[in-house]
């Protein structure tokens, strides 16, 4: 690997790390729980990344990283290199890029996890499979929560880190949300909400949305209702995006995307019903899976060295 990059994709649940070569090939991928609940969450994160980086370098002692790619969740100001706010991990206006640069003594490319996973999907994954260059797109990541990355005329939309919070846009039938608002898409359409709502409605505890899907496929009417309500809520939001920014493509990633056509087919149908003269987006599954963020971190690390993959 020459030159190698040290990559980190920090989520609310886990941290993924890897090394990468100039072509973006990943080596030594590992996944560990994100350390949480400390008095200084930003410092705790950098300490954890430093340990992970040392472990990766110990496994490949001849490799000398030249740059770091760091992606984090929450509201991110890429230009200033700051984690503005993370509801899950607790930091506020933390200078994460500078902190990481000091910890590793390397240039750091810094960005938002979903935005850069979306950029990687367009560069290497679902977007590349479409053949033509996609210039208007949405990357919709549906897991415990819901986040989106928006691309208009080939450019990512950041708005200081506040763009793309689709999970906290109101939808019909939405419920009270932990964020303090009422009606958020996450309260109906996220994998976490599907599991929680089914457990409450059925009295049967499930570990995730996958179990709700299996129950629906076995003929459980409660599971079918909750799954359908989730699909309708997501479709409402995609239709709103179609009216506002007219994406050519919506790439669906995250844990719920593992449902495949059980999610995508009714979602396409519901979106189509809601549109008239609008451009109907092509709704496709993400192709890079759980490594999309690491590929996005590779793009940022390359950028830190002024290199274009």
Residue 174 forms part of a structural domain: yes
**Within-domain flag for 110:** yes
Greatest distance between any 2 Cα atoms in the chain: 59
| Residue 139 belongs to some domain of the structure | yes
User: How much is the pLDDT for 68?
Assistant: 97
Q: For residue 280, what are the β-bridge partners?
A: none
pLDDT 10s digits, 110-127: 999 989 999 999 888 887
Q: How far is CA 89 from CA 35, 42, 165, 211, in A?
A: 8, 8, 17, 27
17 and 156 housed in the same domain: no
Whether 219 maps to a domain, the answer reads yes
**Spatial separation of the C-alpha atoms in residues 76 and 54, rounded to whole Å:** 26
In a domain, 163, yes or no: yes
Let me know if residue 126 belongs to a domain. no
Are residues 99 and 219 both part of a single domain? no
**According to the model, what pLDDT value does residue 116 have?**
93
Two structure tokens written together for 251: 């790439």
Backbone angles phi, psi at 137, to 5 degrees: -155, 160
Residues in the chain, pLDDT under 50: 1
The verdict on residue 15 lying in a domain is yes
Specify burial of residue 289 (Cβ count, 10 A radius: 0-12, 13-18, 19+).
exposed
Instruction: Check whether residue 280 and residue 199 sit in a common domain.
Output: yes
Residue numbers of the domain that contains 9: 5-117+290-304
Give how many domains the chain has, as a whole number: 2
Nearest CA-CA partner of 97 in 306, 297, 308, 309: 297
CATH code of the domain covering residue 63: 3.30.420.40
225 and 300 together in one domain:
no
pLDDT digits (tens, 9 = 90+) for 279-300: 999 999 999 988 999 999 999 9
Q: Would you state the torsion angle of the CA atoms of residues 67, 71, 77, 81, taken in this order, to the nearest 10 degrees?
A: -30
300 and 261 part of one domain: no
- 73 and 51 co-located in one domain: yes
């Amino acid at each position: 690997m020459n030159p190698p990059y040290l990559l980190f994709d920090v989520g609310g649940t886990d941290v993924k790390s890897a090394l990468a070569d100039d072509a973006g090939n990943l080596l030594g991928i590992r996944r560990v729980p994100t350390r949480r609940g400390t008095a200084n969450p930003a410092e705790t994160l950098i300490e954890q990344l430093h340990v992970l980086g040392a472990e990766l370098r110990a496994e490949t002692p001849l490799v000398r990283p030249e740059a770091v790619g760091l992606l984090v969740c929450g509201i991110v100001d890429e230009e200033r290199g700051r984690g503005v706010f993370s509801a899950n991990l607790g930091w506020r206006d933390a200078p994460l890029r500078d902190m990481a640069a000091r910890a590793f003594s390397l240039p750091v490319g810094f960005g938002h996890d979903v935005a850069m996973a979306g950029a990687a999907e367009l560069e290497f994954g679902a977007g590349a499979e479409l053949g033509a260059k996609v210039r208007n797109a949405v990357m919709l990541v549906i897991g415990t929560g819901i986040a989106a990355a928006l691309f208009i005329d080939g450019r990512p939309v950041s708005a200081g880190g506040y763009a793309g919070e689709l999970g906290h846009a109101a939808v019909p039938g939405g419920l009270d949300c932990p964020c303090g608002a009422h009606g958020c898409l996450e309260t109906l359409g996220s994998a976490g909400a599907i599991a929680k709502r089914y457990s409450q409605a059925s009295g049967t505890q499930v570990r995730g949305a996958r179990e709700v899907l299996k129950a629906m496929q076995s003929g459980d009417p409660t599971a079918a209702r909750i799954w359908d309500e989730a699909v309708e809520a997501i479709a409402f939001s995609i239709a709103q995006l179609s009216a506002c920014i007219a994406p050519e493509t919506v790439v669906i990633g995250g844990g719920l995307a593992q449902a495949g056509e059980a999610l995508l087919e009714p979602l396409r149908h519901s979106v189509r019903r809601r549109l008239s003269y609008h451009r109907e987006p092509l709704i496709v599954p993400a192709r890079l899976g759980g490594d999309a963020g690491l590929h996005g971190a590779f793009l940022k690390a390359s950028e830190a060295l002024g290199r274009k993959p």
